[in-house]
Structures are given as C-alpha cells and as structure tokens.
Structure 1
Amino acid sequence: MSMVPNQGDDMAPFDSVTARLILLLAETGSIGRAAEREGIASSAVSRRVSDLESRLGVVLFDRSAHGVRLTSAGESYAEGCRTVLRAIADLDAVMADFGAGLRGSLRLACTSSALTGRLPELLARYAAKHDGIVLDIQEMGAAKALLALDEGRADIAIVSDNYDFTRFEIKAFEDDRVWVLAPPDHPLAGQIEPRKDIGFGTVIDYPIVGIHQAGSLDRLVAEAARKAGKPLAESVRVESFPALVRMVEAGFGIGFLRSTSLHLLAGTDLVCAPLAEPWALRQLLVARRKTSPLSAAMKSFIALCSETYVPSV
C-alpha cells in the first residue's frame, strides 16, 4: 500500500490525545477497547489513526479481523510517543515544584499485594502530614505498573521484586515471603507449621489452586517448578487471592500466598507455613524511573517508606 504524506501538514503539532490512542491500541490490540478506555467512539479512534497515517505517509497498524498490531514503523512511532508523553509528565512535575511546595500530586501504581499490606496505613500517615498533596492511587499488576512509570502515567510504583528494574531506581518497601496453605485434613497438614519452614519439593507433587496466570506469584511458582523438573498439577485457576483461599478451603488443592495476603486466612481453619527456599524470600519494592524529576511529593513519600521499613529477621 503506497501512502503519500500531505505536504501541507508535515509540521503539524504533536497531538497528545492521538499519541495516547496509539499506545492504547498497542496495549489492547483492539479499536473498540481503546475507544472504551478513552471514552470516545470507535469511529473517532479509526479516523484519528487513519489521518495520522496519511499525514506521516506510513502504515502504523496491521488490521485484521482479530484486531490491530503495530507495524515496525508503528513500533518506532509508539516509542516516540512514550518519550514525548514522559517529557510532558516530567515537565509538569518540575513546574509543580516551582510553587510554594504546599500543593501537588502523587500518582501511585500499586499491586494488590501492596494494597493488602502496610501501604494503606502508610498512605493515611502521609495524607495526614501532607494534606495539600492529592493522592492518585491505581491498583494494577506489576508489569502494568512499571509500564505506567515508563509512560509517565505514574510517579512511583510499588511492586513485587521479580521483574527487570534496569531502568528504575528501587528501594525495599516490605518483606513479602511466599507461604503454602492447605486444608486441615490435607495429607500435608501434619507437616505444615506456621513457625517452621517447609521445602517446595515437599509440597509440589500435590494438586494446587493456581492464581492469575502470568502474575508475579504465578511466575515465581511456575519457574521454581520448572527448575525442579516437576510440572505444576493445577486442579483449578482463579484470578483473585480471596477466591484462591476459598478454593483451597473447599478442598481443590493447596495454594500459595505472599505474606501480605495471609490476613485472608482469618476465620478459616486452613494451615500455612513459609517456604524454605531462597527464591521464596521476596520483597515489595518502591520503584521510580531514574530519569524522572524527583518532586517534593515523591521525595517525602520515599523517605517515609524508608523510615518505616523494618526487614524481617
């Protein structure tokens, strides 16, 4: 397909709305889902992309009945959009610090594990001390939280530690060890004691209740099983930790939880114990992009996290 750019528009200004749409289309692979997320009509999304392709003289997306996918030119343009949007977000952060320092915002991208641990109490302390700072707290998976940092949609992410943090500055936030849980009548129950470590090799041969495919805990357990040469015997898979607890309680198998989610066992008769292996000694991390300006709101929050972090012994 030959496309000729419109010479009269080759100096058209950068359009941040269209840039966000390009990134949404790249993420979702669907015009309909991107339109729904942005709150506009699908036809408007299609028109913006077509107009942009016409102006640039390139095809940004391969279209098919299954959705849309970035071309090589589209990949390059999407990366450029991320760069510009990051720069815009960074400029906003710098300008905020030119004020009196009494007002601002802090955008946090947090995993479910973070929000079920000590983070809510810490945020309450922060809000009480910095009542002029508007908190924008978004719950999402770790991979999406780091992507939000990359694209300038979040200032700080609090995520599990088993990802690539090359581009980020990180600090420990909370210890989050992996535990195994089982019903009291399970064959393993006699070997499970809360204050005694149990080996992964002891539990892996039993059916398990899986959790959120490709999530951080799923990736950890699957990789450990692969290294042990023992494929996981999943009896069922769920998408939330409360559902995992209920399915284990109902007898569908054993399960794995991080220590920040152990409060979900309250009111049950499930037994649990920490895994003994080094890979199970995990942490939640506070991450920020190394190249992003460190606003006053970010500095004070990171300082509070460091002051209140107490490593497990």
Structure 2
Amino acid sequence: MLLHVDEEITFRKLEILLAFMETGNLARAAEKLEISTVSVHRALHSLETGLRCALFRHEGRNLHPTDAAQALADVARDVLRTMSEGIRATREVAGYSSDRIRIGSLYSLTSRTVPRLIMGLKLRKPELHTELVLGSNADLLQKLRDGAIDAALMAVPEGTADVESEPLFEDDIRFAAPVGSPYSGQKEIDLAACAGERFVSLSEGFVTYSGFVESFRVAGFTPNVVMETGDIFSLMNLVSGGVGYTLLPGRVWGVMPQNVQLIPLQPRYLMRQTIALNFLRTRERDPNLLALLALCRTSKAELA
C-alpha cells in the first residue's frame, strides 16, 4: 500500500506547530524558532490546507487550537522523535558522527603512532570511543571501502581517487639481520651480494612486502624466501631466531628484539614509504574524522 502525505505537510511545519502549541502565541513561537511571526502564521495555515480541515479558531488576532490541532501535535511529537532517532541511527550505521571511531592501522604503527593519536584524540573528544583494527595495506583499504573502518593509518594507496590521504611521515626500508651476523659491521648493504642468503618476509598485501619485492628486483635476483608471516612482529622474531634475513621499515627500530639490527641499504635499493591518515572522500565532512585529521596535522613531528 502506497502511503501519501500531502506536500504541504513537512517536518519543519510540524516543528512550528509544536512551538506554537507550547508557547500559545505567534510572537513567542516565532522568537523561539528565530523566524518571523508571518512565517509561523503561514506554516500553520499551510498545515490546515494540507489536512483539509480547520486546526484553529480565530478570535480577533488570536489563534486558538482546536482538538484537531492537539491531535496533530501529539502525532507530530512522535513523528519528529522517531525521525530524529532514525537519522541518528542511520548516521551511526554509516559511521558518521557516532560516539565511536574505528581506526585501521598497520601492525608496525602500534608502538608509537597509534598510541599517540588515540591519546590525543581522547583529549580532544573525551566522549569518543576508539576501536582499533589491524591489517595489511590491502586489508585496510578494502575495509575502508566496505565501511568496516572510518580511517586507516597506512601507506598512501596508489590509484585511489576515492581516498583522501594526509601524509604523516616518510620511512625507509632497511636490511634486518641478527647481531653478530656477517653483515653486522657493514654501514650499507649491497643486496646483490646477498643472493645466496635465506630470507623471511611479510605476506602479499603489506606495503613492506611491496618494497621487499621491488628492492630485490633492483638487485637482479629473486630471494630465497623460506617463510612468510602475517604480522611484522612475528617477522622480527624470525630474524631474531636466525631463520632468515629480511627488509623492515625504520619505524620498528624501537620495538625490535635486542639481537636484531637495522642496516641501511645502498641508495640504489632504497624504497621509501609514505605513511598517512587515509579516509574516503565521501566522509571528509564527518566531525569525528575532522577531529582526527586536525590532530594529525598538528602532531606530525610526534608521530614518526
């Protein structure tokens, strides 16, 4: 069954009706709504036109509501309350201006960048609850597009016109080796000289994996990868245990096992990551994201 409401009956006019019913006076209703008395009168008259029945009795310049006006006012309160709750619920489903924000992050950013941002956001918006989701660059980009997260702290994705990125810092890929390995005393690593070594790596989809592959392409050989893992902390432990060498971003320096060191690569193998706050362009006016974006812009020096 198709429900039809006359176009003369709008939410705004119902709001005006309720203001008039509560104040009992055109002038006071107009003052409450910050509109003119004429606008209040026109809205009430328009409701009568749409309903095709009288809502008020005219006594001189005064309007007195009828029982019909009271009946409409009772319904209007329920309608406006329901619609207001519906709008709030709809925005929460879309993640817009809810009381929580879901932030996606690379594992490697959880030791410094993520804690600083969460603490800063808590100071700016104490009522906002933060949910952290970890994953690879590919995972986070998909979650961002699916609406599973509101923003992603990850490398700037390529060829994504639908994503807005606010760069935070740049990071270089380095050679990771156990302390005491044959490479420990070197100031720079020539990857071409490592063709006979065993390596461990992150799985495909991580931005560090992309840098890993590109560096060895420049070196001119395919590395002997004996094991892959899905998080960077496990990768560091594999290096610590002597399973193999790997390439890691410099940002993990402070959380590496004590017996693992990072050694710069020769300039020709250097791969640089730009870490950024990423969110969908369609969400760029979300108040929660705007607060997070402002925090990122003022805290860049502390996030690297």
Q: TM-score, normalised by structure 2?
A: 0.61
**Kindly tell me: are residues 176 and 90 of structure 1, through their superposed partners in 2, closer, same or farther at Cα, counting changes over 3 Å?**
farther
Give how far 1:287 is off. 0.8
Q: Classify the secondary structure of the residue corresponding to 1:177.
A: strand
> Match of 2:248, as an amino acid?
L
Determine helix, strand or coil for the equivalent of 2:243.
Answer: coil
What is the distance in 1 between the residues matched to 2:158 and 2:141? 9
Q: Who is 2:115 aligned against?
A: 120
- Residue aligned with 1:136, SS: strand
| 1:292 maps onto 2:292 in alignment | no
What secondary structure is seen at the aligned counterpart in 2 of 1:248?
Answer: helix
Letter in 1 for 2:133: Q
Q: Which runs of 5+ in 1 are unaligned?
A: 1-87, 97-102
Give, in angstroms, the shift of residue 176 of structure 1: 2.7
SS class of match (1:189): coil
Output aligned runs, 1:1-313, within 5 Å.
92=94, 96=97, 104-161=99-156, 163-191=158-186, 193=187, 197-203=188-194, 205-266=196-257, 268-275=258-265, 276-277=267-268, 279-310=270-301
Structure 1 Cα separation of the partners of residues 134 and 292 of structure 2: 18
Distance 1:293-1:282 versus aligned 2 partners, 3 A rule: closer
Counterpart contact for 1:204–1:225, Cα < 8 Å? no
Alignment length (residue pairs): 215
C-alpha separation between the residues in 1 aligned to 2:202 and 2:95? 37
Structure 2 equivalent of residue 79 of structure 1 = none
Q: 1:37-56: per-residue Cα shift (whole Å, max 9, x none)?
A: xxxxxxxxxxxxxxxxxxxx
SS in 1 for 2:277: strand
Change in CA separation of 1:245 and 1:129 when aligned onto 2, cut-off 3 Å: same
Shift of 1:122: 1.9
2: CA distance, partners of 1:136 / 1:243: 23
Partner SS for 2:130: strand
Match of 1:84 in 2: none
- Superposed CA RMSD in Å reads 3.0
Q: Decide whether the 8 Å contact of 1:157 with 1:288 is kept in 2.
A: yes
Q: Deviation digits for residues 164-196 of structure 1, max 9, x if unmatched?
A: 3332111112333212121233222221x4xxx
Deviations 1:20-76 (A, max 9, x none): xxxxxxxxxxxxxxxxxxxxxxxxxxxxxxxxxxxxxxxxxxxxxxxxxxxxxxxxx
Q: SS in structure 2 opposite 1:176? A: strand
CA contact (8 A) 2:105 2:134 kept: yes
The amino acid that maps onto 1:207 is R
Shift in Å, 1:131: 0.6
CA distance in 2, matches of 1:152, 1:130: 22
Question: Following TM superposition, by how much is the alpha carbon of 1:120 offset from its aligned partner in structure 2, in angstroms?
Answer: 1.0
Q: Percent identity?
A: 16
How far did residue 130 of structure 1 move?
0.9
Alpha-carbon shift at residue 277 of structure 1 (Å): 4.3
Unaligned runs of 5+ in 2: 1-89
**TM-score, with normalisation over the residues of structure 1?**
0.60
Q: For 1:159, what is the secondary structure of its paired residue?
A: strand
